[in-house]
Amino acid sequence: MTISRREFLNISAKALAISSALSTQAFGSVAEALGSLFTGDIPICQHMTNATTSQFTVLTLGKMPYAYRVLDSQGRDVPVQLWDHATRKGFDCGIDKLFVQNLRSEERYRLRVIDKDRGTILDERIFKALPLTTKKSLRFALVSCMDDMYFYQRKNMWSRLFAHRPEMIFAIGDTVYADTFSDGTADGLWKRYCETRSLLHHFRQPFLIPTLATWDDHDYGKNNANKNFHLKEAARRIFDLFWGSREVDGFKRGYGVSSIFTGFGQRFFFMDDRYFRDDPGLSRGLHWGRDQQEDFLARLGENSKPSWILNGSQYFGNYYKQESMLKDYTANLKDVLKKLSQISAPVILGSGDIHFSEILELEPRILGYKTFEITSSSIHSFAIPLGEIMRNDRRVEYSWHHNYLIINSSVVDGGLKTLTQSYGRFGQNLFTHQGRVIR
């Protein structure tokens, strides 16, 4: 299916109207910050960023070729490289992947998108580098389940999230509902990724925030799919184009779409819970696959830095007919927990998928110390009070409304101290939780 430039521009115009209203409330005057150069017409995402480099994806619209320019606060040019690019026959959208070098911490930079033929500036964003070693705390947003059908929430929720100004955003699954309104082909996946990227207000903000991601079943391309999904290779390439980063200081790629981010005295393991997943009916089935699981445990055991293990689906949910590691891979979870208990690094579990947010307190008998599973879902997908029906004795906090989590994670002797706050569509605080995980 061809998405015309006129259709994209219509989408852009609608998004810009809301952008102007909400972003001005959130950040002050956009005109004052960016002059007349910010339009919000071009969907842009900032990805892995450290003290000297940053990476971006730009959704290209129509046949117009883009050029890019990055300026520092003094108006001097900073090197920017187009390191990957993809289009698909029959579609008017593509992806440009940018790599920016020679950055300085805490300085503001401007990324400009330019009409390569005419030399006119089409859009501009402000971004900063991210020093990873100067402090041992990180304030990040945790989100999942980003269904583009929710017209109001796909704009409002992202503007409210950006107004909190987290240092990073972690998207842990169902970043695209690629299995809905799709014909079940690789072209169908591409179409849905382009549509979602064009519609979500995450990508039309005047100030960018580094965002790292992993997938779950909907962005993989089929509900509850596993390693036997016939489009797994095409899905991995498309996900990597839209969300992936090159390896740099603080960021390593893993098996499938998995990755490891290290910074602020902590590690964040983004797990691939689809590409290697066995059928759930197997008595010795593995959730992450043998190679990924053993690689993850080996890397976790390299040092004692406290770590987050971020996964698309839940670990301890075990709700009726709901996927979870406990429900579908009981023996595998028991084995992984035993091995985690023998590693010196304390861990917190993070998950999405279930269309309500909750915090489960995991008793010390499991790992030898008290920890938590923190689930964030959904920022905008269907929301009904399922959690009121599906109880969990470990639950200490819960909300079924559209929400996102803002988490302050600080390194303390022997582990982590956390402050987790859930926020809803009207900006209301839905719950607050303070945790302490000490090995």
Quote the pLDDT of residue 4. Answer: 42
What are the backbone dihedrals phi and psi of residue 17, each rounded to the nearest 5 degrees, phi first? Answer: -60, -45
Quote the pLDDT of residue 23. Answer: 40
Quote the pLDDT of residue 391. Answer: 83
Nearest Cα neighbor of 263 from 438, 107, 135, 127 is: 135
Quote the pLDDT of residue 388. Answer: 77
The first and second tokens of residue 263, run together, are 């910074």
Quote the pLDDT of residue 384. Answer: 81
* Options 3.40.640.10, 1.10.3720.10, 2.60.40.2300, 2.60.40.10; CATH of 5-15+31-128: 2.60.40.10
Quote the pLDDT of residue 31. Answer: 44
Quote the pLDDT of residue 36. Answer: 64
Quote the pLDDT of residue 14. Answer: 38
Quote the pLDDT of residue 321. Answer: 77
Up-side HSE of residue 203: CA atoms within 13 Å toward CB? 26
C-alpha dist (Å) from residue 283 to 58, 244, 286, 287, 323: 44, 33, 9, 12, 16
Quote the pLDDT of residue 20. Answer: 39
CATH of span 137-438 = 3.60.21.70
Q: Which residues of the chain have pLDDT under 70?
A: 1-36
- The residues spanned by each domain of the chain are 5-15+31-128, 137-438
Nearest Cα neighbor of 383 from 159, 142, 145 is: 145
